Amino acid sequence: MRKTVPVEKSNTLINPGCVVLASVTYEGFSNIITIAWQTTLSIRPRLVGISVGFSRYSHDMIRNAGEFIINVPGRDMLSQVHGCGRMSGRKYDKYEQFDLHHLPGRKVASQGIKECLGSLECNLVDEFTTGDHTFFVGEVLHAEVEESVYDFQAYSWKAMPESELLYHLGGNRYTTGHKWMEA
């Protein structure tokens, strides 16, 4: 038997998406925002997108800086991921609050997050208003990953607990891809 889901909650049917921490530095201030609405958009050029609410502190920082970094946290960062999504960077330094360390960008001025498994440094190339969010499109200028958790021959995450990514199920609920399968 199927049951109706309210339209305003319909995104929960297609969103558990891999949760990322987007970081940006503008005018000497760095901030982190938890994002579950992210996607790959193009192979050539390599484009990715993140959806950020208008009211979020990172929104205008990304627009003004013209760049952002997508940081990929592992399962051991659940408390930081959740906390960064519940606390405003207008009032708190999230790096300090969650014992995270700055990782200088290699191709952008923004700071990444050292504790994350990988990162994609992006130059902002476009943006679209999508209801109450802006969909920021970034061209990937540099990407890196901890080699212990990544298979560089297959270009995929290794099937091991240390490489489990977080997926947001809604509210305070998250899961990991703890069962690995190959086709």
Q: Is residue 183 part of a domain?
A: no
Q: Is residue 91 part of a domain?
A: yes
Calculate mean pLDDT across residues 100-118.
96
Mean pLDDT of the chain: 90
Q: Is residue 31 part of a domain?
A: yes
Question: Tokens 């212990």 appear where?
Answer: 148
- pLDDT band of residue 122 (cuts 50, 70, 90) is very high
CATH code for the domain in which residue 94 is found = 2.30.110.10
Q: Is residue 181 part of a domain?
A: no
Is it the case that residue 157 has pLDDT exceeding 90? no
Calculate mean pLDDT across residues 116-130.
95
Q: Is residue 3 part of a domain?
A: no
- pLDDT band of residue 155 (cuts 50, 70, 90) is confident
As for how many domains the chain has, the answer is 1
Please give the Cα distance from 39 to 41 (Å, whole number).
6
Q: Is residue 133 part of a domain?
A: yes
The conformation of residue 9, written as its DSSP 8-state character, comes to G
Is it the case that residue 11 has pLDDT exceeding 80? no
- Both tokens assigned to 17: 């998406």
Q: Is residue 180 part of a domain?
A: no
Domain around 133: 17-143
Residues 6+ apart with CB under 8 A from 33: 21, 22, 23, 52, 56, 57, 58, 84, 85, 89
Asked whether the bond before 45 is cis by omega within 30 degrees of 0, the reply is: yes
Q: Is residue 5 part of a domain?
A: no
pTM of the entire predicted model: 0.91
Is it the case that residue 178 has pLDDT exceeding 60? yes
